[in-house]
Amino acid sequence: MLPSRQTAILEIAKQRGRVLVDELAAQFAVTPQTIRKDLNDLCDRKLMARTHGGAILASGIENVGYEARSQIAAREKTAIAEAVAARIPDNASLFINIGTTTEAVAQALLQHQGLMVITNNINVAHIMRPYPQIEVVIVGGVVRSADGGIVGEAAIDFIRQFKVDYAIIGTSAIDEDGSLLDFDFREVKVAQAIIANTRHVILASDSTKFARTAPVRIGSLKQIHTFITDFCPSETVRVFCAENDVELIEALPEAAGAQG
């Protein structure tokens, strides 16, 4: 049985997806060292996974709920989104796939002109629909009720009709060997079709994904042209990117030293 404070921390993590040491220390009126010990205990029990500055819910088979995911690393996702948007020129065609980070990118692209956006994310379509300078094309297929993602064979067939300038994709986990991982094999198949039909693939993913795992392989960082994150805590992944000509951009490199 878990101590009461650790039980409470776990409940907070279930609601938010992520917890931060300093916030928990203030909330429970204890020292950061005490909270770090609590988090380490929870990680030892495989209930959570440590990240810089805190921890996230451990996950291996089932993803964190959409509402919780939308709250994880919100500042980091905004910085990543702005960095992605800065690399997309006006009058470009692009895929935007499922994910809370890709939705942040959609928000950051709203002032662009002449974009054609093909998406299998209903939330992205909703964000961009009111802007007449952006043409939004929604992929057909099965709508996933949990997060508005569109998946399945019909979605794959639809995507194969296009060859676009850029793809903005997310991932649920990044392995040390460069593997990009996710939870739903149907979503993975769609992501693979997007990668195969794009001239320049941008992976937009925050650093919490280095602390997670998932059972289904999307592909490899080798297939990515540009990887934009808040910062990369893995030296192995840094080397992998350098050796495979993947441009690594850190939107918040100072976060590595500021969090602990």
Where in the chain are the domains?
4-58, 69-258
pLDDT digits (tens, 9 = 90+) for 47-81: 888 887 888 877 654 556 666 666 677 889 999 99
What is the band of 258 on the pLDDT scale with cuts at 50, 70, 90? very low
For residue 69, the model assigns a pLDDT of: 67
Q: Output the average pLDDT for the chain.
A: 90
Other C-beta atoms within 10 Å of 243: how many? 10
Instruction: Please report which residue ranges of 86-139 form alpha helices under DSSP H.
Output: 100-108, 122-128
Domain 4-58 belongs to what topology?
Arc Repressor Mutant, subunit A (1.10.10)
Model confidence, pTM: 0.80
What is the band of 129 on the pLDDT scale with cuts at 50, 70, 90? very high
Q: What's the CATH code, domain 69-258? A: 3.40.50.1360
Strand spans (E) along the chain: 18-20, 48-51, 54-57, 93-96, 115-119, 134-138, 142-143, 150-151, 164-169, 173-174, 179-182, 198-204, 216-220, 226-229, 247-250
For residue 2, the model assigns a pLDDT of: 76
What is the band of 24 on the pLDDT scale with cuts at 50, 70, 90? very high
- Asked, colleague to colleague, whether 4-58 and 69-258 share their fold, the answer is no
Residue 114 — left, alpha, or beta (φ > 0 → left; ψ -120 to 50 → alpha)?
left
pLDDT digits (tens, 9 = 90+) for 189-241: 999 999 999 999 999 999 988 978 889 999 999 999 999 999 999 999 999 99
Percentage with pLDDT > 70 across the chain: 92
pLDDT digits (tens, 9 = 90+) for 130-162: 999 999 999 999 998 888 999 999 999 999 999
Q: What is the DSSP string of 179-220?
A: EEEES-HHHHHHHHHHHHTEEEEEEE--GGGGG---SEEEEE
For residues 162 and 202, give the distance between their C-alpha atoms in angstroms, rounded to a whole number.
17
What is the band of 260 on the pLDDT scale with cuts at 50, 70, 90? very low
